[in-house]
Structure 1
């Protein structure tokens, strides 16, 4: 994942001290890989421990790993450009090119974040439980609906429900046999946090899909699937890049889930065949 663009996407979550470090790194990116934590701190007007914590907040295990990635990036810039905002009264051709660029960039950034062990852990939870309760609010409802559609075709007992009053009784009744799958780009959706806290008290395992970084849902989760932190255009009527990131994550989880057991692939073929036969007969 692009180190510079990732830092840029996290600016809103940075403290004043972290923003100083961020600005210094951006200004001296070619020199940073050869500098110590103390040298970076001195240049940014900060402290060495804060520099190390900053690198970990950006998703790296150490400052060394951060510097290695930054070094590779400054030597080999990404071919895909960064996010571009949409201007009022922009020509159709320009809009088309910007949206295509943003989609490609989102997919590239998100797939770089994917960790195989995390996806396998999510698959194991889904396989081990009889019921999967799925919830998503706002635009994330579309992704929750996609999860429901995909796993239902495999014969999985999927319950798609956002209403706390309807969901809670079902969780209570099926607590031992259930896994909860919550989808929120920000990871701060109040309704989903309330559901997650209740499930945690009931010891129901939780899978969450949120953007990269620590948030309330991530802290409550047993498995945290992460997307990049896409920049959404200011002139927009709905989430676009974040939805693309969420859909590509669900697609990979689904195909990994199928690949783990041949019977799932057979079920996909059978359901597809049944639908085709129905259409041939009645349409």
Structure 2
């Protein structure tokens, strides 16, 4: 994963001092080649050891290693950016086209970081749990609920018994018939919904398996997960950040669905159920 993407993806889990370092690096990446660890520490009013520990926490030997990796990544982007620059320059007189290009690139980065956060084995575990489950419950609140509903429909089309729950007050009741081997898929961006945490806890007590999809943050919901998938999507513009989150979330759900469709029985059921709709 590119170092700046890694920093952006880990930011929500950092301490206050680490976030200050991260924000400086993200905002001034091209200037880091002129900063020693001591100069960076002086600029931020922190200790040099904090900069070193920050670098090591990201998996680098030290700050020089991190700085070199960022510089190399930026050089690669500059080298590969000729076509992108040409494309953007071609849209100088078309703000709509420039906005579309910018959004596409931001979504691509969000999906790339999210992919890196979730090992394929973990995504495959989710697909296998759904494949072997007696029933699949999909729950979410707000916009997450829309994704849960769409996934429930897809699962039904491949022959899985899928139940979509959307009322927080009734979620615990709605899963009261859950049995061992059933799967509860919980979508919650920030993972702090008390009703969802309560439902997940009860579901596990009944022997079911809980899968959570949240932002890449330490949150209460992840503590109740058997399998936790993570979404990373960051942008200073709130109207863009929400789009990035849903794009990355949808990518994860689409990948799970495609893995399920590798089963010939599921694929045949999908074709049969889709035929009358066409």
**Contact 1:21–1:51 (8 Å) recurs in 2:** no
Residue 134 of structure 2 corresponds to residue 130 of structure 1 = yes
User: Structure 2: how far apart are the matches of 1:232 and 1:209?
Assistant: 22
**Contact 1:29–1:74 (8 Å) recurs in 2:** no
Cα RMSD for the two superposed structures: 3.5
Residue 131 of structure 2 corresponds to residue 142 of structure 1 = no
Aligned partner (choices 52, 55, 63) of residue 60 of structure 2: 63
Deviations 1:234-265 (A, max 9, x none): 357x9322111111111111101221x21111
Structure with a larger share of its residues in helix: 2
Unmatched 5+ residue regions in structure 2?
A: 85-93
The structure-2 alpha-carbon separation of the partners of 1:165 and 1:24, relative to structure 1 and needing over 3 Å to count, comes to closer
The count of corresponding residues between Structure 1 and Structure 2 is 256
**Contact 1:205–1:222 (8 Å) recurs in 2:** yes
The equivalent residue for 1:116 is 120
- What's the CA shift for 1:21? 4.0
TM-score (norm 2): 0.75
Secondary structure, counterpart of 1:7 in structure 2: helix
The equivalent residue for 1:187 is 191
The equivalent residue for 2:204 is 200
The structure-2 alpha-carbon separation of the partners of 1:70 and 1:91, relative to structure 1 and needing over 3 Å to count, comes to closer
**Contact 2:55–2:61 (8 Å) recurs in 1:** no
User: Structure 2: how far apart are the matches of 1:196 and 1:150?
Assistant: 22
The equivalent residue for 1:73 is 73
Secondary structure, counterpart of 1:140 in structure 2: helix
Matches for 1:3-82 after TM superposition, within 5 Å? 3-8=3-8, 11=11, 13-22=13-22, 29-30=32-33, 44=41, 45-46=46-47, 51-52=52-53, 56=57, 62-64=59-61, 67=66, 70=70, 73-77=73-77
User: Structure 2: how far apart are the matches of 1:190 and 1:137?
Assistant: 11
TM-score (norm 1): 0.74
**Contact 1:133–1:160 (8 Å) recurs in 2:** yes
Q: Relative to structure 2, which stretch is displaced further, 70-79 or 208-217?
A: 70-79
Secondary structure, counterpart of 1:244 in structure 2: helix
Residue 97 of structure 2 corresponds to residue 100 of structure 1 = no
The equivalent residue for 1:267 is 269
Unmatched 5+ residue regions in structure 1?
A: 33-38, 82-89, 277-283
- What's the CA shift for 1:96? 3.1
- What's the CA shift for 1:99? 2.8
User: Structure 2: how far apart are the matches of 1:141 and 1:243?
Assistant: 12
User: Structure 1: how far apart are the matches of 2:260 and 2:236?
Assistant: 30
Aligned partner (choices 248, 255, 265) of residue 245 of structure 1: 248
**Contact 2:201–2:224 (8 Å) recurs in 1:** yes
